[in-house]
Amino acid sequence: MSRIGKQPISIPSGVTVSIANGNVVTVKGPKGELKESIDRDIAIEVKDGQILITRPTDQIRHRALHGLYRALINNLVKGVTDGYKKELELVGVGFKAANTGNTLDLALGYSHNIIFEVPKELKVATATEKGKNPIITLEGSDKQLIGQVAAKLRSLRKPEPYKGKGVKFVGEVLRRKAGKSAGK
């Protein structure tokens, strides 16, 4: 039995879970509403303030989907109650970030500024303190969307291995290389 899949998901107060057509789970909470469509073979039931996920057989496909859908539904419940947050740091001389609404204006060392439109489901904030690197904060209830947008922002200027310049996640440990002088 899947160790993850067999664990029940407790539903916090203020959160409602509904299952439509047997395979679309809708979770509503204080931070919004999220939906996830589930494979038709996986059974989901709401009982005694908990969500239970069961699989029909021990086939490899069913075993794989069992834990996957339990984790996805748990992410939905956590997203509508607490929400998710990712912070990116701009490391480099002259690197700047500013936002007006959900539009980011990034100066990342190219000949032009990059204008990046953040989806309206997410909240974006930028902070620039003297003597510190600029920080971009993404907040929202959809874990997948936040991760995708953060990865896209990071891909605009990935951190390079020599000085570490670029866009990186706060707390990310970069693998650094020695320069030319290390070879002699």
Q: Check which CATH number belongs to the domain holding 19 and give it.
A: 3.90.930.12
pLDDT score of 157 more than 60: yes
CB neighbour list of residue 132: distance below 8 Å, 6 or more residues apart: none
**Domain-embedded: residue 61:** yes
CB neighbour list of residue 52: distance below 8 Å, 6 or more residues apart: 8, 44, 45, 46
At residue 5, the pLDDT reads 86
Same domain for 68 and 104, yes or no, is no
pLDDT in tens, 79-123: 999 999 999 999 999 999 999 999 999 999 999 999 999 999 999
Domain boundary among 81, 114, 141: 81
pLDDT score of 1 more than 60: no
Contact present, 133 and 90 (Cβ < 8 Å): yes
pLDDT in tens, 123-133: 999 999 999 99
Q: Write down the pTM of the prediction.
A: 0.89
* Angle at 12 (CA atoms; ends 11, 16), nearest 5 degrees: 65
**Domain-embedded: residue 174:** no
68: containing domain: 9-81
CB neighbour list of residue 16: distance below 8 Å, 6 or more residues apart: 27, 28, 29
pLDDT score of 144 more than 70: yes
d(CA 131, CA 102): 26
